[in-house]
Structure 1
């Protein structure tokens, strides 16, 4: 799976490196993304998604090509056959992205990375001590935003975090 993501990002970097259009991302720009994950990473056999992955990211343009910001996301699963047993996952981190010129002011395409912490908690019977291993979170992502108006748009991100694919609303300030 990691090889697939690395290949996708490398292909995107190659394709976008040939673009010479004017910048659609600006220094001082602030973007807020609110999204829902369609391919969650924190559930598997024997569990059911209780709350779908939701995420919030904020990006600030430090130049016409580079943004930095923050990320917070949450997801919850239930263990099949146990009504009150489950896991909660919260990722909090910082992210940075490189924005590509693609020839349209309506599109913003970017690739970046995330460094954060994944907080895992278990809820259930006190006599059972399930594995709840919080740990550092690392991720790479490839994304794009499409603007319906100057300040409102949609976004999609492909990467390894709270979900492999995240779609949602983008606000530009």
Structure 2
């Protein structure tokens, strides 16, 4: 069975090859320096309990990205810094994550934003019916696609590792 790490590594390598082969592409950037985009999504993840049993879970994901540099290494690249908050509801409890998030973005075609993100922050969980809870450091990393239907809003999909495995939703530029 192919692991999520192998899939992510393959996609990152493929994106790298596309960047290396298409440096002359002039795409309409989703991000310009100073642009802000907030996203709200629903998704799924896996939660492992203390006994090692895995449960599927519903994930509510809220992110914000602020573009610090719209032309990082060429006209189609961008660097963003923002934050991420995730609520994960699973059979028997909830977990959460909140922390800063950085992203590297590349625009291959107009209105399409491809990106890699990393978020590091506080992660916690609570088991229903008990006083058991935890708090510590957590992370979330992954890749995403965002298509801006209009300059003010778009749709996104992300696959990741850490807090959330899959998210889909809407993005709003302001």
If the length of structure 2 is used for normalisation, what is the TM-score?
0.80
Flag the structure with higher strand content. Answer: 2
Match of 1:115 in 2: 120
Alignment of 1:116-135 (within 5 A): 116-125=121-130, 132-135=133-136
The residue aligned with 1:16 is: 19
- The whole-number CA distance in structure 2 between the counterparts of 1:29 and 1:92 is 22
Aligned length: 158
1:87-118 alpha-carbon deviations (Å, 9 max, x no partner): 211011111111113131x2111112111121
Partner Cα separation in structure 2 for residue 137 and residue 18 of structure 1 = 35
- Alpha-carbon distance in 1 for matches of 2:54, 2:119: 29
Contact 2:97–2:138 (CA<8 Å) still a contact in 1?
yes
Gaps of 5+ in 1: 79-85
Question: Which aligned pairs between 1:39-50 and structure 2 lie closer than 5 A?
Answer: 39-42=44-47, 45=53, 47=55, 49=57
Aligned: 1:68 with 2:86: no
Alignment deviations for residues 130-171 of structure 1 (CA, whole Å, 9 cap, x no partner)? xx4433212321111111111011011111133211100110
> Does the C-alpha gap of structure 1 residues 134 and 6 become closer, same or farther in structure 2, counting only changes over 3 Å?
farther
Greater Cα offset, 93-102 or 4-13: 4-13
Cα displacement (A) at 1:48: 6.0
The structure showing larger relative contact order (alpha-carbon pairs under 8 Å, at least 6 residues apart) is 1
Deviation string for 1:42-80 (max 9, x for gaps)? 25747464xx210000000001110000000101222xx
CA RMSD between the two structures: 2.1
- TM normalised by structure 1 equals 0.81
Counterparts of 2:46 and 2:99, CA distance in 1: 17
Which structure 2 segments of 5+ residues have no match? 71-77
